[in-house]
């Protein structure tokens, strides 16, 4: 699957409260930047992930978020955005700010 204009509009609406967003298409997904800093991805299967490691990754895990895996057992430092934030731009942006602060 490839990212559509509607997918991109969704991301800009979701993280709109952050302000200066930009993006790049990559491997069927989308990399998302705030003021030039890479903080999230939209995967080719329409899942939103935040960049996270350490304490912030533990916080996301405690929220029930799932780690991005390229292959079985081979994870990366990206965790799904908490479910409640997927339709709440203010909450999504709060999580994004936490991701950016943890970078």
> How does the average pLDDT of the chain come out, rounded?
91
Tokens of 38: 């890479």
The CATH class, in words, for 5-102 is alpha beta
For the sheet containing 37-42, what is the strand order?
Answer: 21-26, 29-34, 37-42, 48-51, 74-80, 67-71
Q: Where are the domains of the chain?
A: 5-102
End-to-end CA distance of the chain, in Å? 29
Q: Are 33 and 40 in contact (CB under 8 A)?
A: no
- The rounded Cα 12 to chain-centroid distance in angstroms is 12
Q: Determine if the pTM surpasses 0.85.
A: yes
Task: List the one residue out of 46, 37, 80 whose CA is nearest residue 60.
Answer: 80
pLDDT in tens, 9-67: 999 999 999 988 999 998 888 999 999 999 999 998 899 999 998 999 999 999 999 99
């Amino acid at each position: 699957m490839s990212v559509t204009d509607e997918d991109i509009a969704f991301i800009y609406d979701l993280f709109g409260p952050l302000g200066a967003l930009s993006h790049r298409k990559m491997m069927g997904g989308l990399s998302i930047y705030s003021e030039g800093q890479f903080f999230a991805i939209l995967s080719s299967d329409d899942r939103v992930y935040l960049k996270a490691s350490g304490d912030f990754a533990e916080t996301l895990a405690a929220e029930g978020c799932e780690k991005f895996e390229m292959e079985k057992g081979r994870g990366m430092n990206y965790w799904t955005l908490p479910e409640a934030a997927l339709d709440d731009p203010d909450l999504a942006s709060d999580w994004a700010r936490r991701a950016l602060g943890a970078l």
